[in-house]
Amino acid sequence: MNDTAKVALTIVGTMVLLIVDMLLLIYTDMSISLFWVIIVIAIVLSLFPLVFVRGSSAELNLLSMKVKAPFVNLDIAYSDIQSLELRTKFSPGVRIWGYGLIHKGSGHFDNREFGSYTFSGDTRIPAFIVVKYTGNNVLVFNIVDEERTRAIYESLKNSSGKSGSEVYEGPVLPKSHRSVYVGIAAVGIIAVVAIVIFAVFGMGHVTATLENDHLHVDAVMVNENIAYTDITD
């Protein structure tokens, strides 16, 4: 199973667990302790990529270069490469779609220099290969560590026939439209929380049943038997 499938399955699995957990809380007599156990399981599942996702990898074949990472699977022919560059600093910008942690990321990104482009790498590694290829496309990536990234860069120059250039102190580029995307994300999170709260406290069922010697009340987070003798005015 590739890294993209691992991340996608993790996201789907976590969301399914949370949805099922919420539905069980609303429509069944599930205990609060079980509710929180499922929440913890969902959180642990969401951390799956930290352990099992390998990250960015690159392979040079006879006629092309393959770069693979979560949500990145590119096969670029050497004949399509227009320019190569090696930088010691690079700011990926805003992740539009893909996989990302604090320092690692891969997928569809956007920054002020390239606009929409593909990024796959780790910002802690002081080496970034910038590949511009046919169709105004740009790929920026690194692998594992600085030494192996530089080795791939040198091999790529030889295979593609491009001279390449190195920028040792490239500027850290500002992240374009970050405030817009952060605002959209914040609104989305607030909306989800509001929907969950409404579902739990506004859409729950309430039933009361008169038994022989007690009143049975069944509602969201309430399942109680009240003896008639305990009822006071």
Which residue in 143, 127, 139 sits closest to 90, CA to CA?
Answer: 127
8 Å CB contact between 128 and 56: no
Is a pLDDT exceeding 70 seen at residue 131?
A: yes
88 and 123 inside one domain: yes
Instruction: Write down the mean pLDDT value for the chain.
Output: 79
| Angle of CA points 46, 52, 57, to nearest 5° | 125
Q: What pLDDT does 201 receive? A: 47
What does the block give as tokens for 181?
A: 């995307």
In a domain, 204, yes or no: no
In a domain, 227, yes or no: no
Domains identified in the chain, total number = 2
Rg (CA), the chain: 26
Q: Residue 204 region, left (φ>0) first, then alpha (ψ -120 to 50), else beta? A: beta
In a domain, 205, yes or no: no
The pLDDT confidence band at residue 172, using thresholds 50, 70 and 90, is very low
Residue 192, amino acid:
V
Q: What is the pLDDT of residues 38-65, one digit of tens each?
A: 888 888 777 666 556 666 789 999 999 9
Cα separation, 226 vs 178, in Å, equals 55
Q: What pLDDT does 141 receive? A: 96
The pLDDT confidence band at residue 125, using thresholds 50, 70 and 90, is very high
What does the block give as tokens for 172?
A: 């850290």
Of 176, 197, 227, the domain-final residue: 176
What does the block give as tokens for 25?
A: 């809380």
Q: Identify the CATH number of the domain in which residue 111 sits.
A: 2.30.29
What does the block give as tokens for 186?
A: 């914040």
What is the percentage of the chain residues whose pLDDT exceeds 90?
A: 38
90 and 101 inside one domain: yes
8 Å CB contact between 128 and 152: no
Which helix (H) or strand (E) segment holds residue 136: the answer is none
Residue 132, amino acid:
K
Domain that holds residue 2: 1-53
Could you tell me the pTM of the whole model? Answer: 0.60
Q: Bigger pLDDT: 23 or 63?
A: 63
158 and 170 inside one domain: yes
- Residue 201 contacts by C-beta under 8 Å, 6 or more apart in sequence? 220
In a domain, 40, yes or no: yes
Instruction: Return the bridge partners of 166, or none.
Output: 86
Question: How many CA atoms does the CB half-sphere of 90 hold within 13 Å?
Answer: 31
Q: Bigger pLDDT: 112 or 203?
A: 112
